[in-house]
Amino acid sequence: MLVYSSSSLTVVAAWTIVVSKVAVWAIMVSKSEVVSVVVLEVGAATLVVVSKEVLESNTPRGLRKLPSPPGRRFYFGHFFQLGPEPHKKFTEWARSLGDIYGVYMGQQYWVILTGDKVVGELLQKRGAKYSSRSPNYYSFELLYRNKGFNSSPYNERYRMLTPLVHGILGQRNIKENSDIIDNEYRILIQNLCKDSENTKDGFYPKTYFHHAAFNIIALFCWGKRTENCESSIYKEFGGLIDAQLYLVATTNRVSSFFPILKWLPKNKLYNMVIKSRTEAETFFEKIIKDVKEDKEKRPCAIRDMLNKINEGILDDEYDIIHDSVASSLTWLTAVLANHPEIQAKAHQELDQVIGQTRLPKISDEPNLHYIRAIIKEGQRYCGPVYLSVPHYIEEDDDYNGYHIPANSAVVINSYGIHMDEKRYENPKEYNPERFLGIKESSAMLANGNCEYRDHFGFGAGRRLCTGIHLAERELFMGISHLLWCFRIENASPLGKDGRPIPIGLDIERFSITVWPKNYRVRFVKRHDN
């Protein structure tokens, strides 16, 4: 660890980092004199730049609560993520500053939206302005060679790709391919049944959910599934997702904070990006070759894209999709294990509506009100995306007396909104009952008035999660199958009261998605069917 201190600034570099790099950043920060706390993660290194003023303040971990911006203009601010747990604190702290808050980090201006109304006013009603992504050197230019979808600016290329991606992930295609999803979740349940019988101490179910979600993507994209988690394709793709999600995480957008950094000699982050890009391109080359040589000519997204390439509409494209469905199921399993009384209500509903002789089907969804509420409340209470994926505005805008400068990153503080007691009574409680009266899907609500949305887990506006229909269907199949089949038991060690210690909901990893720390649960069969 290295600590550097001057009269106005203290720089703390945790873990290993090249000393000269620390010095460069320190000088830049002290010159601009607008940032009080910046945390940058570069590979294994974390750089924390904190002004003395902030260090001396008494709010948690150096975050200073600011008064409302005078004259409702934005204020030079004071934050950034300090690792997984403070990340939670940050979202709540940003909420305490109001519905809209602006902050400079390095040279990048960030606008944080923590109000349902302001998300609707800016990202939906002014969607034409607020739908770009930051033209980031590392996570777009280098990693995706200025292509792809998720991190693409709102340009002509993005608009040309939109109908194609919506065709693959839209409601109609998902419905037509529902067998893929149903089958994969049936296999998941069979695997959990089998493995639970052999492991009385319980286990961490993440890999099971991850494998099911991966197979669904694989079947949609290249028409093939993998048998188990030992498959080389599964392992390779899992590694790619992990690496790329890590690299596109906000904390690694170093060149957004300090654009000059992109001209530095090749650094660790640069090398990681190039390695990941080469691996991803090699992986997709193999997959594309496989699709081209498939004698059965199975229909899949890659085949559709190859046709578009042949028609001259596209050149090559690839984009790594995030792993939020598996993360959501991993969170919800932990929460349900902590709440046997909620499981009991769900079991009662499943037994009444479906009985114990057949598995739930998607057509049962409108009648399984409690299961639906469990899922919506899960996305609110422990959804996998805390700060959404930053939008970006390329021209100046004014809103309600605030000036939003061109080239600002605009972030939905979804966790902050989800913990707002004005919107949700007792927000820190997991309580599915709050959603019992809501019949509409999250996709439907996301296109209406933001104030009436169930939650903001899927983002907002024109960049709303394109996979929302697939995700909702997967979550329904996953949770309804798990609860139809099992009682999920907390297998943590016993506490002083003789009961298992409740599973902690701490975050293990943060990139775009967050995951719970390792925990143990038992899947106990409710019946023999």
Q: Which residues bind ligand HEM (CB under 6 A)?
A: 149-150, 165, 169, 217, 321-322, 324-325, 328, 383-385, 388-389, 391, 457-460, 463-467, 470-471
> Which CB atom, from 280 or from 470, has the smaller least distance to ligand HEM?
470
Least Å distance, CB 456 to ligand HEM, is 8
For the chain, the first-to-last Cα distance in angstroms comes to 57
For 405, 423, 527, the CA distances from 490, given in Å and listed in that order, are 49, 31, 19
Least Å distance, CB 226 to ligand HEM, is 17
What is the enclosing helix (H) or strand (E) of 472? helix 468-485
**What is the distance between the alpha carbons of residues 365 and 441, in angstroms, rounded to a whole number?**
10
> Which CB atom, from 467 or from 516, has the smaller least distance to ligand HEM?
467
> Which CB atom, from 360 or from 383, has the smaller least distance to ligand HEM?
383
> Which CB atom, from 431 or from 442, has the smaller least distance to ligand HEM?
442
- The separation between CA 293 and the C-alpha centre of its own chain, rounded to angstroms, equals 34
> Which CB atom, from 343 or from 388, has the smaller least distance to ligand HEM?
388
**What is the distance between the alpha carbons of residues 449 and 117, in angstroms, rounded to a whole number?**
8
CB 518 within 8 A of CB 204: yes
Instruction: Give me the count of residues in the chain.
Output: 529
Q: Which residue of this chain has its Cβ atom nearest to ligand HEM in the complex?
A: 467
Least Å distance, CB 220 to ligand HEM, is 7
Least Å distance, CB 18 to ligand HEM, is 33
> Which CB atom, from 17 or from 387, has the smaller least distance to ligand HEM?
387
Number of continuous H segments (helices) and E segments (strands) in the chain: 19, 14
Least Å distance, CB 385 to ligand HEM, is 4
> Which CB atom, from 106 or from 383, has the smaller least distance to ligand HEM?
383
Least Å distance, CB 500 to ligand HEM, is 27
Least Å distance, CB 119 to ligand HEM, is 9
Instruction: Give the relative orientation of helices 369-382 and 324-338 as an angle to the nearest 10 degrees.
Output: 110
**What is the distance between the alpha carbons of residues 115 and 100, in angstroms, rounded to a whole number?**
7
**What is the distance between the alpha carbons of residues 390 and 409, in angstroms, rounded to a whole number?**
6
CB 473 within 8 A of CB 174: yes
Instruction: Give the relative orientation of helices 301-310 and 206-222 as an angle to the nearest 10 degrees.
Output: 30
> Which CB atom, from 74 or from 209, has the smaller least distance to ligand HEM?
209
Least Å distance, CB 437 to ligand HEM, is 22
Least Å distance, CB 123 to ligand HEM, is 7
CB 263 within 8 A of CB 257: no
Residues sharing a CB contact under 8 Å with residue 189, sequence separation 6 or more, in sequence order: 359, 481, 482, 485
Reported as half-sphere exposure (CB side, CA atoms, 13 A), residue 231 has a value of: 16
Reported as half-sphere exposure (CB side, CA atoms, 13 A), residue 349 has a value of: 22
> Which CB atom, from 25 or from 415, has the smaller least distance to ligand HEM?
415
Least Å distance, CB 372 to ligand HEM, is 14
Residue closest to 214 by CA, chosen among 286, 319, 322: 322
**What is the distance between the alpha carbons of residues 247 and 151, in angstroms, rounded to a whole number?**
12
> Which CB atom, from 23 or from 438, has the smaller least distance to ligand HEM?
438
Least Å distance, CB 325 to ligand HEM, is 5
Lay out the sheet containing 9-14: strands in order across.
Answer: 2-5, 9-14, 45-51, 37-42
> Which CB atom, from 51 or from 152, has the smaller least distance to ligand HEM?
152
